[in-house]
Homo-oligomer: A and B are copies of this chain.
Amino acid sequence: MDIIEINKVLSNQARIDILHWLKKPEANFPVQVNVPDFSDGVCVCHIQDKTGLSQSTVSHYLAMMHKVDLLIATRHGKWTYYKRNENEIFNYINSLKNEL
């Protein structure tokens, strides 16, 4: 739990948006055809479409968010699905209350 690194990751609107969108995947992303539901999150291509950024940038952003444990990644075949790590997000906000 490195608050500084998480704050760096969350110093960018697209990354904040992604985290927010993933709170309600069914409301923010199209239905997925290769998995039954959103229980493993949303595939990179849908997130990319929604941000309008390049594929490499979005992949990089998701990797950053994954590296600081804000997201959980699951691979199904050629797709990678990302979902929120609610525990870590909760711990982060809680740590802020104490550290700040």
Contacts and interface: CB of A to CB of B under 8 A. Distances in A.
Interface of A: 3-4, 7-8, 10-13, 16, 19-20, 23, 89, 93, 96-97, 99-100
Given A19-B100, A93-B93, A96-B96, A13 B4 contact: yes
Nearest to A13: B4
Task: Count the copies.
Answer: 2
A11 B7 contact: yes
Given A89-B100, A97-B93, A12 B4 contact: yes
Contacts of A11: 4, 7-8, 11
Contact of A20 (B13, B20, B99): B99
Contacts of A89: 100
Contacts of A93: 93, 96-97, 100
7 contacts: A8-B11, A11-B11, A16-B99, A23-B100, A93-B96, A93-B97, A96-B96
